[in-house]
C-alpha cells in the first residue's frame, strides 16, 4: 500500500514510487488532505480505503454524486449534502445521534493544503465533472441571495417562511424528539441525573420566578412554540398570552390548553409578535425567538417589548449566543441551509447593549450553555429511541438532518463555540423607579 509520505515526495525528501504520480484514489486524496491522520475508517465506491482497519467509526462514500457534493460544497455543506442524500454512510454511530463521529472529526481531523503539484494531481484525479455544482437535496433551503424573492431578510413574509421551514416539520415528529413537555428550548437541569422533562419544568420554573409572576398577573410570551411557558404560567393563576408564526404549533398549543382546562387563563395566537396590541403586561418572556430576529432589528425588537410592559415590569430574553461580540452574526453552511434559514447569533454583550439602549435596565444575566449540551444529548436519545417512527413520519433525509444538527450543536455547546444566555431586565418608571424590586436575586437557581 502506498503510504502518506510516499504520496508527498516533496515533503519526505524521497522520490515518488512508480505510479504514485498517476491518478489518485479517493482514499488517497482524503489521506493527503488529512495529513495522514485519519481518526476513522474511510471506504469509497472506487474500492479504495484509508484509516485504521479496526477503527470503531467509519465513513463510506457510496456514489460519484457524493464526490461531487464533497468537492463543491463549502465548509460543512458538502459533507451534509452527501450524507443527507444517502451518498455518504456513517458507521459506528446511530444516525439519530452521530455525536461520537462528529467529536472525532472535530478533534482529530484537520485538513491542510498540500504542495501545488500534489494539489494539481488531486484536481486531475477528481475530474472536472465532479467540480461542477449539482442540485442539492430537496431538504436544503435556497441560498440567501435567492431568498430575496420572499422578501428582505427578517421582513414579515420571509421570517414566516423561515419559521415554516424549521418548525412546521410535524407535531408528531417533534413529540418523538422533544418528549411530553413539547419544549424546543434549552432545559435547566437541577442536578446531573435529572430527566429531560424534569429539567424543562425546572426551566419554566426559573423563568417564572425571575419574572416575579404571581396569580392575577399578565404575561406575554413571544415566540411561544407549543405554549409550554404559557401553560406553566396559567396553571399558577397567571393570565398568559403567547404568539407564534407556526400554524402547527398554534393548533397543538390551543388543543393542549383546552384539554388541560386552561382556556380561561391561557391563549396562543398565530401571528407576528409585532401584531400584539395589548399593553400593560406585568412581564414578557422571549424564549428562543431572538435568534430569528436579526441583529439590525434588535433596537426595534426591544423597544416593542418594552412598550408592552407596565412601568416596573420585567423582561426575560433567553437565546443562543456567540462567545464574543465581534463575529459575523449570520449563520452559514449546513445550519443556514438545512436548519435555521436567516438565523443570526451574536454575543450577550450586544444583546445587553441593545436592551439598555432602549431604556431597559438589565439586572441579571447568566450562561446556561452546559445545560443546552445536556438538552441536546437527551433530544438525540429520544430520536434514537423513536427512530423508526420519526423516519415514517418525516422521512429519512429529514430525520438525518435532525440527528446531525442536534449532535453537532451539542458538541458546539460543550466546547463553547455557542452559548445560551438568559438576560433579565426591568422597565423603569418615572424617576428610575422599579417598584418593589428586591435588592438581590429573588429566585432559586
Please count the CA atoms within 13 angstroms of the CA of 293 that sit on its side-chain side.
28
Q: For the chain, give the percent of residues with pLDDT over 70.
A: 90
Cell of 396: 429519512
Cell of 119: 494539489
Longest dimension (CA), the chain: 85
| Non-local CB neighbours of 113 within 8 Å, separated by 6+ positions | 119
Top-confidence residue, 17 or 381: 381
In this prediction, residue 16 has a pLDDT band, given cuts at 50, 70 and 90, of very low
Q: What is the pLDDT of residues 209-232, one digit of tens each?
A: 999 999 999 999 999 999 999 999
Q: Are strands 309-321 and 281-287 parallel, antiparallel or unpaired?
A: parallel
CATH 3.40.50.720 for the 156-432 domain, yes or no: no
Mean pLDDT of 298-302: 97
> Measured in whole angstroms, how far is the alpha carbon of residue 61 from the centre of its chain?
26
Name the E strands within 24-116. Answer: 41-44, 49-50, 58-61, 88-91
Closest CA to 283 of 427, 438, 186, 421: 427
Rounded CA separation 277/36 (Å): 62
Rounded CA separation 282/311 (Å): 8
Q: What is the pLDDT of residues 393-426, one digit of tens each?
A: 999 999 999 999 999 999 999 999 999 999 999 9
Residue with cell 484509516: 51
399-409 per-residue burial string, b: 16 or more CB within 10 A, e: under 16: bbbbbbbbbbb
283, 314 in Cβ contact below 8 A? yes
Residue 277 CA: distances (Å) to CA of 125, 248, 308: 63, 23, 8
51, 34 in Cβ contact below 8 A? no
Burial of residue 163 (CB within 10 Å: 0-12, 13-18, 19+) is buried
Mean pLDDT of 22-33: 94
For CA atoms 81, 87, 88, 90, the dihedral sign is positive
Burial of residue 384 (CB within 10 Å: 0-12, 13-18, 19+) is middle
**pLDDT given at position 342:** 84
Mean of the per-residue pLDDT values of the chain: 91
**DSSP alpha helices (H): ranges in 360-443?**
369-385, 387-394, 396-415
pLDDT of 166 over the 90 cut: no
Domain layout of the chain by residue ranges: 4-131, 156-432
42, 10 in Cβ contact below 8 A? no
Residue 198 CA: distances (Å) to CA of 202, 205, 212, 259: 6, 10, 21, 21
Rounded CA separation 294/149 (Å): 18
Long-range contacts of 184-189 (CB under 8 A, 24+ apart): 184/225, 184/226, 184/288, 185/225, 185/287, 185/288, 185/318, 186/288, 186/318, 186/320, 186/368, 186/371, 186/372, 186/375, 186/420, 187/371, 187/372, 187/374, 187/375, 187/378, 188/368, 188/371, 189/371, 189/374
Rounded CA separation 122/145 (Å): 31
Residue with cell 430575496: 148
Q: Could you write out the DSSP letters of every residue in 211-267?
A: TT--TT-EEEEES-TTTHHHHHHHTTT-EEEEEES-HHHHHHHHHHHHHTT-TTTEE
Task: Among 69-78, 195-204, 374-383, name the one with the lowest average pLDDT.
Answer: 69-78
205, 422 in Cβ contact below 8 A? no
Q: What is the pLDDT of residues 51-104, one digit of tens each?
A: 999 999 999 999 999 999 999 998 889 999 999 999 999 999 999 999 999 999
Rounded CA separation 125/373 (Å): 41
**pLDDT given at position 396:** 96
Burial of residue 236 (CB within 10 Å: 0-12, 13-18, 19+) is middle
Amino acid at each position: 500500500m502506498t503510504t502518506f509520505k510516499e504520496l508527498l515526495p516533496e515533503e519526505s525528501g524521497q522520490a515518488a514510487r512508480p505510479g504514485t504520480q498517476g491518478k489518485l484514489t479517493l482514499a488517497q486524496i482524503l489521506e493527503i488532505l488529512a495529513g495522514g491522520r485519519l481518526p476513522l475508517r474511510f471506504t469509497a465506491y472506487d474500492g479504495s480505503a484509508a484509516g485504521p482497519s479496526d477503527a470503531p467509526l467509519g465513513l463510506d462514500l457510496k456514489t460519484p454524486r457524493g464526490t461531487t457534493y464533497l468537492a463543491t460544497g463549502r465548509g460543512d455543506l458538502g459533507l451534509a449534502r452527501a450524507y443527507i442524500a444517502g451518498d455518504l454512510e456513517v458507521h459506528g454511530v446511530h444516525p439519530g445521534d452521530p455525536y461520537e463521529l462528529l467529536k472525532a472529526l472535530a478533534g482529530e481531523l484537520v485538513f491542510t493544503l498540500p504542495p501545488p503539484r500534489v494539489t494539481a494531481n488531486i484536481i486531475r484525479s477528481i475530474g472536472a465533472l465532479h467540480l461542477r455544482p449539482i442540485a442539492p437535496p430537496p431538504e436544503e433551503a435556497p441560498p440567501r441571495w435567492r431568498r430575496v424573492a420572499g422578501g428582505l431578510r427578517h421582513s414579515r413574509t420571509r421570517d414566516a417562511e423561515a419559521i415554516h421551514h424549521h418548525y412546521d416539520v410535524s407535531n408528531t415528529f417533534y413529540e418523538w424528539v422533544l418528549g411530553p413537555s413539547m419544549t424546543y428550548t434549552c432545559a435547566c437541569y437541577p442536578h446531573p441525573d435529572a430527566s429531560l422533562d424534569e429539567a424543562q419544568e425546572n426551566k419554566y420554573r426559573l423563568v417564572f420566578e425571575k419574572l416575579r409572576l404571581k396569580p392575577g398577573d399578565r404575561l406575554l410570551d413571544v415566540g411561544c412554540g407549543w405554549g409550554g411557558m404559557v401553560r406553566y404560567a396559567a396553571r399558577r393563576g397567571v393570565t398568559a398570552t403567547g404568539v407564534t408564526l407556526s400554524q402547527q404549533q398554534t393548533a397543538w398549543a390551543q388543543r393542549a390548553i383546552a384539554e388541560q382546562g386552561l382556556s380561561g387563563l391561557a391563549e396562543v395566537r398565530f401571528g407576528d409578535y409585532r401584531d400584539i396590541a395589548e399593553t400593560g403586561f406585568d412581564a414578557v418572556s422571549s424564549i428562543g425567538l431572538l435568534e430569528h430576529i436579526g441583529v439590525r432589528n434588535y433596537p426595534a425588537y426591544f423597544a416593542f417589548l418594552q412598550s408592552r410592559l407596565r412601568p416596573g415590569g420585567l423582561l426575560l430574553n433567553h437565546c443562543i449566543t456567540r462567545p464574543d461580540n465581534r463575529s459575523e452574526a449570520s449563520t452559514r453552511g449546513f445550519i443556514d441551509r438545512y436548519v435555521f434559514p436567516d438565523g443570526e447569533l451574536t454575543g450577550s454583550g450586544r444583546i445587553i447593549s441593545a436592551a439598555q439602549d432602549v431604556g431597559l435596565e438589565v439586572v441579571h444575566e447568566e450562561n446556561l450553555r452546559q445545560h443546552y449540551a445536556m438538552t441536546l444529548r437527551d433530544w438525540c436519545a429520544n430520536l434514537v429511541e423513536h427512530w423508526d417512527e420519526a423516519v415514517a413520519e418525516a422521512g429519512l433525509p429529514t430525520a438525518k438532518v435532525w440527528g446531525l444538527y442536534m449532535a453537532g450543536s451539542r458538541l458546539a455547546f460543550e466546547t463553547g463555540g455557542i452559548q445560551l444566555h438568559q438576560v433579565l431586565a426591568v422597565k423603569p418608571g418615572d424617576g428610575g423607579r422599579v417598584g418593589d424590586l428586591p435588592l438581590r436575586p429573588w429566585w432559586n437557581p
